Structure 1
Amino acid sequence: MPLLLCPQCGVGMKEVERRGVLIDVCPQCGGVWLDRGELEKLLAEARAVERAYEEEREAYYRKEGKPYKKKKGFLEFFDLFD
């Protein structure tokens, strides 16, 4: 028997590893359950990827001699909760 039941549909949730973090996912409705600290770990990884992308983009624009303007990323939404 699974350790956690989905609060939405009551089906047993499965543990899935994503980028080194174990998250619980409902196989029926697709709901996701994060334990304490897991969201922060996933956000830190996503911010690192976003930073690397921005650095590559900035280097490309510099090489081409074009003006560079940083785009706002979707992760900035989560900065409201800090």
Structure 2
Amino acid sequence: MPLLVCPNCGVGMKEVERRGVLLDVCPQCGGVWLDKGELEKLLSEVRQVERAYEEEREAYYRKEGKPYKKKKSFLEIFDIFD
């Protein structure tokens, strides 16, 4: 018997591990349930990847002698967690 039932469709949710975080996912509708702290862990991972990408992009532009302008991140909407 599953620990959680999907609030959307009533099907038992499955635990799935993604990047070291256990997520509860509904196999029927694809809904995801995050426990306390899991969103912050996932955002931390994404921010690390984004920083590495921006560093590579900046290095490429400098090598090419082109002006570099940092792009805004969609993650800025989650800055309330910082």
TM-score bracket for this pair, using the shorter chain length: over 0.9
SS, match of residue 63 in structure 2: helix
Cα deviation, 1:4-46, whole Å, max 9, x if unaligned, reads 0000111000000000000000000000000000000000000
User: Could you tell me which residue of structure 1 aligns to residue 2 of structure 2?
Assistant: 2
Q: How far apart are residue 80 of structure 1 and its match? A: 4.1
Structure 2, unpaired ranges of 5+: none
State the 4+ residue runs in structure 1 displaced beyond 3 angstroms: none
Percent identity for Structure 1 against Structure 2: 88
User: Could you tell me which residue of structure 1 aligns to residue 25 of structure 2?
Assistant: 25
Q: Tell me the matched-pair count.
A: 82
Q: Work out whether 1:55 is the aligned partner of 2:55.
A: yes
Quote the Cα distance in structure 2 between the aligned partners of 1:80 and 1:65.
Answer: 36
Compute the TM-score of the two structures, normalised by the length of structure 1: 0.96
Cα deviation, 1:57-76, whole Å, max 9, x if unaligned, reads 00000000000000001111
Compute the TM-score of the two structures, normalised by the length of structure 2: 0.96
